[in-house]
Structure 1
Amino acid sequence: MTDTTTPPLVLRGAVGVWFALAVFGLFTVAFLWINQAKLTASLPEGMTVRDALVPLTIAAVFFGVAYGLFGWLLRRGNRRARVGLTVTAFLHLIWVVLPGVSLASMITVVLLGVGLVLTWRPAASHWLRAQ
């Protein structure tokens, strides 16, 4: 007989990836705020550092809160949290890919892919269906 109260390893791993993605996004923006001088050189003419960092900060907080909330709900057995995570990941993917390629965006894309794969694995689906 299997334990239906404890999520399988794959689902716990998925939740860990979503939390890691939230933290990574927030740390990335914090790093940009700390290193504003380096960012200034790469900005287009007439754009200030604040013009660039405020939308990035808002997006990082939005995605971080969304991943944290949906990850917590997923860990508690809420099946709809997977849809919320998938939609959030799709929006995040668009947000990250459109401006161009960077190391941070590539890491984000990899984390998004791993999180989605783990979230939709059959073991996770079976456990969520049993809840």
Structure 2
Amino acid sequence: MRGMGSLTSRLEPTETVLVVEDEHDIATFLRAYFRASGTDVVHVDPTSPAEVAEAVAAHDPTCVLLDLNLRGITGLDVYRELRGRGVPTPVIIVTADPNPRTHRTALAEGVAAIVHKPFSARELYALVAAHTHRR
């Protein structure tokens, strides 16, 4: 994760980003970065895709940042659960997985974008802002 830098595209202060991540350090970093801009952040370390769907229903996030490789489940399983429930929220996958086949599958199924770890927090923020404003 690289520097925080200045931001060109801004999220509205009332917006919420749901971070679905099993690595505590990454979740903490993202929470601090987005909250510094006034954006609310909800973190979920899920044990099932349904748990993420319930968090989306409870918090109505404007965007979901979804780790691809979670403990015991995959981000694609989570994404499919959300879409199966009719959740239209943009989903950006954040991953260290270098497998291009997995990335093609995720994009073909409709994820908004894929960001590779390590990532630039500034670029991730701008990407979230861009997809949130299209909503």
* Bin of the TM-score, shorter chain as denominator length: under 0.3
Compare relative contact order (CA 8 Å, sep 6+) and give the higher one, 1 or 2: 1
Looking at secondary structure, tell me which structure has more strand per residue: 2
Larger radius of gyration between Structure 1 and Structure 2: 1
